[in-house]
Amino acid sequence: MLAEWNSSFSVGNEVLDGQHKTLFSLINQLHEGIINNRRRETLSSALDGALKYTLLHFATEEDIMRRHGYPDLDKHAGEHKVLVNKLTEYKKRLDSGQEDLTLEVLMELIDWLHTHLGDSDSRYRPFITGKPAQ
């Protein structure tokens, strides 16, 4: 397993923690496809699924932050947009044959996820749980 969720990534919300775990699982599925030399169409389909799930997760997360009055929602949503744009660009290049989905690309996604969960997402935890960050 390349990417593994652990309790340090918890934001104190079962729905969001569950979705974060699913994002890790999707990254691991992409990793498995890369190391097993899956066809471009298979990787494109997996990447498309990851992109769609990411959009669902971001909408859910932003809605929860909005309902709890998180003051940095716009900045946080901007970080989400950066990742969506990256995923969309990777998919476009993969589908056009310009680039294969590589471990380098995957490591960039994992790094983004770790940084985002460990830093940005931890900042909204007190707003949605009413408890200070751990």
What is the CATH classification number for the domain harbouring 75? 1.20.120.50
The residue range of the domain holding 38 is: 13-129
Q: Residue 79 pLDDT more than 90? A: yes
Note the pLDDT of residue 1.
62
Nearest to 61 by CA among 109, 115, 23: 23
pLDDT, greater one: 3 or 112: 112
What average pLDDT score do residues 39-67 get?
92
Say if 109 falls within a structural domain: yes
Say if 3 falls within a structural domain: no
Q: Residue 101 pLDDT more than 80? A: no
Q: Residue 94 pLDDT more than 70? A: yes
Q: HEC string of the chain?
A: CCCCCCHHHCCCCHHHHHHHHHHHHHHHHHHHHHHCCCCHHHHHHHHHHHHHHHHHHHHHHHHHHHHCCCCCHHHHHHHHHHHHHHHHHHHHHHHHCCCCCCHHHHHHHHHHHHHHHHHHHHHHHHHHHCCCCC
Say if 51 falls within a structural domain: yes
Say if 4 falls within a structural domain: no
pLDDT, greater one: 19 or 107: 19
What average pLDDT score do residues 47-54 get?
92
Q: Residue 133 pLDDT more than 60? A: no
Note the pLDDT of residue 83.
92
Number of domains in the chain: 1
Q: Residue 65 pLDDT more than 60? A: yes
Say if 117 falls within a structural domain: yes
Say if 1 falls within a structural domain: no
pLDDT, greater one: 23 or 102: 23
Note the pLDDT of residue 131.
64
Say if 5 falls within a structural domain: no
Say if 66 falls within a structural domain: yes
Note the pLDDT of residue 107.
87
